[in-house]
Structure 1
Amino acid sequence: MPISAESAETLALNVLAWLAGNEELLPVFLGSTGASAQDLRDRAVEPEFLGSILEFLMLDDSWVVEFCDANSVPYDLPGQARAVLSGAADMHWT
Structure 2
Amino acid sequence: MKSAEETAIAILGWLANEPDLLGRFLALTGTEISSLRHSAADPGFLAGVVDFLMGHEPTLLAFCDATGTSPQDVVYAHAVLSGPDNPGDF
Corresponding position of 2:51? 55
Q: Which moved more, 1:73-82 or 1:63-72?
A: 73-82
Larger Rg: 1
Amino acid at match of 1:70: A
* Partner in structure 1 of residue 38 of structure 2: 42
Q: TM-score, normalised by structure 1?
A: 0.86
Deviates more, 1:56-65 or 1:36-45: 36-45
Deviation at 1:24, TM superposition (A): 1.4
In the TM superposition, what is the alpha-carbon distance from 1:75 to its structure 2 partner? 1.6
What whole-Å deviation, never above 9, does each CA across 1:14-68 have from its counterpart, x for those lacking one?
0000001101111000111111112211110111100100000111100000000
Matching residue's letter, 2:28:
S
* TM-score normalised over the length of structure 2: 0.89
| Aligned positions, number | 88
Partner of 2:78: 82
CA distance in 1: counterparts of 2:27 and 2:16, whole angstroms: 13
2:64 matches 1:68: yes
- Residue 26 of structure 2 aligns with an amino acid whose one-letter code is L
Structure 2: which 5+ runs fail to align? Answer: none
The sequence identity of aligned pairs, in percent, is 38
What secondary structure does 1:73 align onto? coil
Show structure 1 runs of 4+ deviating over 6 A. Answer: none
